[in-house]
Amino acid sequence: MAKLTFASLAFNASHTPISEQFDDIYFSTQDGLAESRYVFQEGNQLWEKWQRHTNAYFVIAETGFGTGLNFLAVAERFKIFRQSYPNSPLKRLYFISFEKFPLTATQLAEVHQAYPQFARFSQQLTACWQPRQCGCQRYHFGEIYLDLWFGEMADNLPQLGDSYNSTIDCWFLDGFSPDKNPQMWGEPLYRQMFRLTAQGGSFATFTAASDVRRGLQAVGFEVKKRKGFGKKREMLWGEKPLDSTPLPPQYPYFYPHRQPIVEDIAIVGGGVASLFVALSLLERCKKVTLYCQDNALAQNASGNLQGAIYPQLSDDDERNIRFYVHSFDYAKQRLAQLAQHVDFEHHFSGVALYAYNEKTAKKLQKMAEQDWDNALFELCDADTLSEKIGLPVQNGGAFLADSGWLSPVQLVQNGFAYLAQLGLKIVLNHKVEHLEYKGERWQWQHNGQTFGHAAVVLANGHLLTAFPQAEGIPLYPVRGQVSQLPSNATLAKLKCVVCYDGYLTPISAQRTHCLGASHLRDNADNTFSLTEHQQNFAKIQQNLTACDWVNELDSSHNLAKVGIRAAFRDRIPMAGAMPDFSAQKADYANLYNQLRREMPIAQAKSYPALYLVAGLGSRGLTTAALLGELLASQICGEPLPLSEDILHALTPNRSWIRHLIKGRTI
């Protein structure tokens, strides 16, 4: 797994930051902010373009994030634009930046002290700044979206995928100078730039190097010169000709074409997945209606009093690990934003993974070899783990300091109440069934009345497969019963969530703990089971042997919450357009030979304007926020917050495609 290397930062006599990796300054020693505005904002004629823009969003791409000065300056400028032109069709700004050697949050804050006018943006950024791995991390600043692609730009640019073809409105070419950083400035960058740039899109750069000029011209850009900033004689800027032929998307055959963009969207389901889909859609000014068949929200697995939130690391699946780490960091950012408006109990006091047997100890050791930062994953001996847990344990394990727990039922119920204030319409006691697509709308009947919306998102957990359109989706229900127990003087000392072949949470505001959970596959019964309740208590005693305090747990109250989760065998959710199983089964009946003989393959067919997010399993608190943002981005046709390889791993038709490419029947 590719790991990040952080910047080695120094300051010269004028306190201008210098990269020791490239032996070059991050910005002009004369006036870095003035340089940024002159070279990139004026060079790309941003203000004028924003005034003329007819789309709802504008996309800027930058080839070196560095200290973030360009972003801060543009974000502040866009805020002024939105205030000056509140009725402009342009509502959102996407700033996509690439960075091989990120600064730390402390270094960013130090550099930003010189620019107090950007204090609000800087504080927001450094509060959630946590580069851990290569790939995309999305940060939110209201109507401004910052996508940071960490790692080698040569690896990351292709990962934007064909959905980005002809979508970037302008480029800030701001890597370190060509003679200091020749690896970046070259034909692969220019070729990808041309593919991604919109017709009439522009670029600007501080350099006037002839190799750069010729390279940009060679791929099709019109390149011009203007006076450079300060003592620099010249700089380059240019455009992609309006009459240039856009490259047609070349999506993998199993990935569906873009759907038409719609404004009126229904979400089916009342849990954490629906909450974050609704949040991301409302932020994009969509009309959103939520339908829940229960008489209250969060009645299923999202109704637990306490739930752990931490990344699902493993020792055997690199792509899944990257997805879960991205999801975890994104979830923490979104939860912090929601906590400003929504009351829900949460404590990021850590999660302890207890090595309750030799197999688990070996697995944790393999995870440690992935070399994560200690805040994400730290191997501990028994004494250290006992100190972090707050109660004595006999074995070591791992500690995830950035992780913790929250109240799902409070998050979901209070979160929906907040979204209702933002315009979400919530309809309870309404079972959506018998969906039909008529007149470019999905319609159904309920109590003799016809309901319809331009698009529908199915986020209803294990009940997804009740819809005929979900044919072929290999989702299965998992019954999980979480026991509730009263605290005592000993248990009150528990500092963090303890995970073994189950889990125990610290004390809640109700002075109770959660002990979970049973795991019964293909079981959707939601009635209380005394046997499973007793098994939850027996499991912790069996796993944490010789820990006297586990014998003090009180099981006599017989209190528990049953939730039905939905899962897939490959341990990763699905999100995206609903695939048409019957059509794909017919189109791909000979897929094995088509691939082997390199024959043309039809693009995967999907149902129009029908989407799903499913299979979150026991990791819904970790993954729901990123999946909701991904789905909203897809529905709105806007930049996606994940690399293409992870996006493909989440595709809803992946299970039968895997069978077909091996020559198996489905």
Tell me the average pLDDT of the chain: 93
Name 410's Cβ contacts closer than 8 Å, sequence gap at least 6.
343, 344, 345
Kindly report the CATH number assigned to the domain that includes residue 502: 3.30.9.10
Tens of pLDDT, residue by residue over 572-629, are 999 999 999 999 999 999 999 999 998 999 999 999 999 999 999 999 999 999 999 9
Query: Is residue 134 a contact partner of residue 4, using CB atoms and an 8 Å limit?
Result: yes
- Same domain, yes or no: 575 and 627: yes
- Give 611's strand partners: 457, 577
- Same domain, yes or no: 505 and 516: yes
> Is the sign of the CA dihedral 487, 491, 496, 498 positive or negative?
negative
- The secondary structure of residue 53, as a DSSP letter, is -
Query: Is residue 58 a contact partner of residue 104, using CB atoms and an 8 Å limit?
Result: no
Using alpha carbons, select from 319, 325, 43 the residue that is nearest to residue 205. Answer: 43
Structure tokens at 216: 């940009």
**pLDDT, position 78:** 98
180 within some domain: yes
Query: Is residue 223 a contact partner of residue 216, using CB atoms and an 8 Å limit?
Result: yes
**pLDDT, position 586:** 94
> Is the sign of the CA dihedral 59, 64, 70, 75 positive or negative?
positive
Q: Tell me the mean pLDDT in the region 111-132.
A: 92
Give the range of the structural domain holding residue 206, as residue numbers without chain letter: 23-240
Helix (H, G, I), strand (E, B) or coil at 9: strand
Q: Tell me the mean pLDDT in the region 625-645.
A: 96
- Same domain, yes or no: 438 and 527: no
- Same domain, yes or no: 190 and 284: no
Q: Containing H/E element for 138?
A: strand 135-141
State the burial class of residue 639 (Cβ atoms within 10 Å of its Cβ: 0-12, 13-18, 19+): buried
Tens of pLDDT, residue by residue over 378-423, are 999 999 999 999 999 999 999 999 999 999 999 999 999 999 999 9
Q: What angle do CA 282, 159, 131 make, to 5 degrees?
A: 70
- Give 427's strand partners: 291
Structure tokens at 446: 């309920």
**pLDDT, position 249:** 73
Using alpha carbons, select from 432, 460, 458 the residue that is nearest to residue 444. Answer: 432
73 within some domain: yes
> Is the sign of the CA dihedral 502, 508, 513, 519 positive or negative?
negative
Q: Tell me the mean pLDDT in the region 249-271.
A: 90
Strand ranges, E, within 517-572: 520-521, 559-567
d(CA 16, CA 10): 8
Structure tokens at 152: 């080698």
**pLDDT, position 174:** 81
**pLDDT, position 313:** 92
> Is the sign of the CA dihedral 215, 221, 224, 229 positive or negative?
negative
Structure tokens at 549: 């305090």
> Is the sign of the CA dihedral 659, 660, 665, 666 positive or negative?
positive
- Same domain, yes or no: 202 and 224: yes
Q: What share of the chain in percent tops pLDDT 90?
A: 80
State the burial class of residue 455 (Cβ atoms within 10 Å of its Cβ: 0-12, 13-18, 19+): buried
For residue 230, is pLDDT > 90?
no
318 within some domain: no
Structure tokens at 329: 């960091």
Tens of pLDDT, residue by residue over 489-526, are 999 999 999 999 999 999 999 999 999 899 999 999 99
Using alpha carbons, select from 98, 216, 96, 219 the residue that is nearest to residue 156. Answer: 98
- Same domain, yes or no: 124 and 216: yes
Of 544, 567, 590, the last residue of a domain is 567
Q: What share of the chain is helix, strand, coil (3-state, %, to 5)?
A: 35, 25, 40
**pLDDT, position 250:** 77
Residue 415 phi/psi, 5-degree rounding, is -65, -45
* Cβ neighbours of 564 (radius 10 Å): 18
Count of alpha carbons within 13 Å of 592, Cβ hemisphere only? 11
536 within some domain: yes
- Same domain, yes or no: 188 and 48: yes
Query: Is residue 485 a contact partner of residue 515, using CB atoms and an 8 Å limit?
Result: yes
102 within some domain: yes
246 within some domain: no
Crossing angle between the packed helical segments 119-128 and 69-84, to the nearest 10 degrees: 120
- Same domain, yes or no: 281 and 138: no
DSSP string, 342-384: ----EE---EEEE--SHHHHHHHHHHHTT---TTT-EEE-HHH
Residue 321 phi/psi, 5-degree rounding, is -60, -45
Position 432: which residue type?
A: V
Q: What angle do CA 217, 220, 224 make, to 5 degrees?
A: 45
- Upstream peptide bond of 517 is cis (omega within 30 degrees of 0): yes
Tens of pLDDT, residue by residue over 5-58, are 877 777 665 566 666 565 556 555 567 899 999 999 999 999 999 999 999 999
d(CA 100, CA 90): 31
- Same domain, yes or no: 455 and 562: no
Helix (H, G, I), strand (E, B) or coil at 171: strand
d(CA 90, CA 394): 60
- Same domain, yes or no: 609 and 546: no
Of 567, 590, 607, the last residue of a domain is 567
- Same domain, yes or no: 485 and 551: yes
599 within some domain: yes
Count of domains for the chain: 3
The number of residues in the chain equals: 666
Kindly report the CATH number assigned to the domain that includes residue 592: 3.50.50.60
Q: Tell me the mean pLDDT in the region 371-375.
A: 92
636 within some domain: yes
For residue 321, is pLDDT > 60?
yes
Helix (H, G, I), strand (E, B) or coil at 502: coil
C-alpha to C-alpha distances, 113 to 99, 110, 140, 194, 260, nearest whole angstrom: 21, 5, 21, 36, 45
- Give 239's strand partners: 202, 222
Mean pLDDT comparison of 7-16, 183-192, 248-257, 321-330, highest-scoring range: 321-330
- Same domain, yes or no: 159 and 93: yes
**pLDDT, position 18:** 67
Helix (H, G, I), strand (E, B) or coil at 102: coil
Tens of pLDDT, residue by residue over 434-467, are 999 999 999 999 999 999 999 999 999 999 999 9
Query: Is residue 600 a contact partner of residue 568, using CB atoms and an 8 Å limit?
Result: no
Using alpha carbons, select from 593, 367, 564 the residue that is nearest to residue 476. Answer: 564
Q: Tell me the mean pLDDT in the region 367-375.
A: 92
**pLDDT, position 16:** 67
Query: Is residue 305 a contact partner of residue 509, using CB atoms and an 8 Å limit?
Result: no
For residue 298, is pLDDT > 80?
yes
Using alpha carbons, select from 629, 644, 252 the residue that is nearest to residue 457. Answer: 629
Kindly report the CATH number assigned to the domain that includes residue 166: 3.40.50.150
Pairing of strands 307-309, 436-438: unpaired
Query: Is residue 585 a contact partner of residue 321, using CB atoms and an 8 Å limit?
Result: no
Query: Is residue 435 a contact partner of residue 443, using CB atoms and an 8 Å limit?
Result: yes
Query: Is residue 553 a contact partner of residue 537, using CB atoms and an 8 Å limit?
Result: yes
For residue 338, is pLDDT > 60?
yes
